[in-house]
Amino acid sequence: MKILVVNAGSSSLKYQLINMDTREVIAKGLCERIGIEGSLLKYKPAGKDAVEVKKNMKDHTDAIQMVLDILADKEVGVLGSMNEIDAVGHRIVHGGEKFSKSVLIDDDMIKVIEELTPLAPLHNPANLMGVRACKAIMPDTPMVAVFDTAFHQTMPYEAFLYGLPYEAYKELMIRRYGFHGTSHSYVSKRAAAMLGMPAEKTKIITCHLGNGSSITAVDGGKSVDTSMGFTPLEGVPMGTRCGCMDPAIVTYLMEKLNMDAKQVDTYMNKKSGVFGISGVSSDFRDLDDAAKEGNERAKFALDVFAYNVKKYIGAYAAVMNGVDAIVFTAGIGENDRNMREKILTGLDYLGVDVDFEYNRTAPRGQEVTISKANSRVKVFVIPTDEEMVIASDTANIVFGK
């Protein structure tokens, strides 16, 4: 069974073709600059050289058509024809309170996702462009929506209600939703397997640390709290996002810098985080280099990030009355050994005993345990695989397997 996984952004579209029988990625790639001059298709068939095609893509339908054409290309393709694709799984960022699991996409479902646009004005319309493009070109191929928010729908009201008037929740849908759900769900399941315990019996803190970062408390296999909130701006300071701060800063900025709502939004989403603190970069590799060269603001940025992640670990251990495992995943979590060391130093009160030597030398790209054998709390590094979760959910919903 072959599943095409599509992650459509406003001007980009990532795709992977996965063989569910072997759980192998057959081909993957990316369309860039859709609707902008200089559109580019990147394509990488497994075990073969990558290919780049420069061709104008005026919209997402053009992009999907190009993806299908290259997948079935006589020379570099991996399919006899696009009819070999059994189903398509779409990443949809916001499912609001409507979706607590993945669903089969039909016209009604598209309408419901559309209605959630105010909650994710940039993401949901872009995701839907991917859905509509596939529907136009392959109308008979079943499609499934997999939501970033769905895994967090198990949070209790204590965790999802903000201290605002209750009407803000009931009438404006303002509450904590949480994001990166497919990743937190996947790595927490893998962690339970690595602990050798049924997921229902485990207390796990998952740290998805990438360009966007979120930390989740997974109690008994269910998300009970997560650091991102109404939008992916809340939580730890990220690459360019500010994370948690006193909300009074918003009005203060508007008054002092004469900003309107849109400008404050850009300030907090694009100009803040470790990029804003350091003035150097949003990329942790650049920050590491700058800090080593003595750049004080780069050091501040890294320290602020580590401190905030550690604070969430402490908070979530309190929320769950203990923790069996802490998991690191995504770009920073999987690769940045210095950052893991910074975060994990001084957690011995929790029963965390890290093998810092092994943390430095452990191979990348595979599941490893970086805590010592006798550590009460295990610490795992687990590469996330959101595409595989989307493909499995799709196969499950469409074919029941």
By annotation, the residues acting in catalysis are 148
**Token pair for 146:** 């997999």
Measured from the CB atom, is 45 or 331 closer to ligand ADP? Answer: 331
Which residues lie across from 87 on neighbouring strands?
Answer: 3
243/311 Cα distance (integer angstroms): 13
Comparison of 29 and 331: residue with beta carbon closer to ligand ADP:
331
Length of the chain: 401
- Least distance CB 287 / ligand ADP (angstroms): 8
Distance CA 373, CA 271 (A): 42
Q: Which is nearer to ligand ADP, 95 or 239 (CB)?
A: 239
CB of 355 vs ligand ADP, minimal distance in Å: 19
In the block, residue with structure tokens 């057959």: 26
In the complex, least distance from residue 28 CB atom to ligand ADP, rounded to whole angstroms: 14
Mapped onto helix, strand or coil, the DSSP state of residue 220 is coil
The Cβ of residue 120 has, within 10 Å, a number of other Cβ atoms equal to 23
Q: Backbone phi, then psi, for 223, in 5-degree steps? A: -70, 125
Smallest distance, Å, CB 279 to ligand ADP? 16
What is the spatial distance between Cα 302 and Cα 103, in angstroms, rounded to a whole number?
Answer: 39
Rank residues 181 and 239 by Cβ distance to ligand ADP and give the closer one: 239
What is the DSSP track for 101-126?
S-EE--HHHHHHHHHTGGGSTTHHHH
Closest to ligand ADP by CB, 306 or 332: 332
In the bound state with ligand ADP, the residue whose beta carbon lies nearer, of 93 and 138, is 93
Q: How far is the CB of 292 from ligand ADP (least distance, A)?
A: 12
Interface with ligand ADP (CB under 6 A): 210-212, 239, 283-285, 330-332, 335-336
The nearest distance, CB 396 to ligand ADP, in angstroms, is 24
**How distant is the alpha carbon of residue 366 from its chain centre?**
18
Which residues contact residue 387 at a Cβ distance below 8 angstroms, ignoring those fewer than 6 apart?
5, 7, 16, 18, 25, 28
| Alpha helix ranges (H) inside 31-175 | 60-71, 107-115, 123-137, 157-160, 166-172
Q: What is the dihedral of CA 58, 59, 60, 62, to 10 degrees?
A: -40
Rounded CA separation 49/105 (Å): 34
Is the Cβ of residue 281 or residue 369 nearer to ligand ADP in the bound state? Answer: 281
16: tokens are 């992977």
The distance of closest approach from Cβ of residue 282 to ligand ADP in the complex, given in angstroms and rounded to an integer, is 6
Query: Looking at beta carbons, which residue is closest to ligand ADP?
Result: 331
- Residues 71, 166: Cα–Cα separation, whole Å: 50
CB-hemisphere CA count at 13 Å for 360? 2
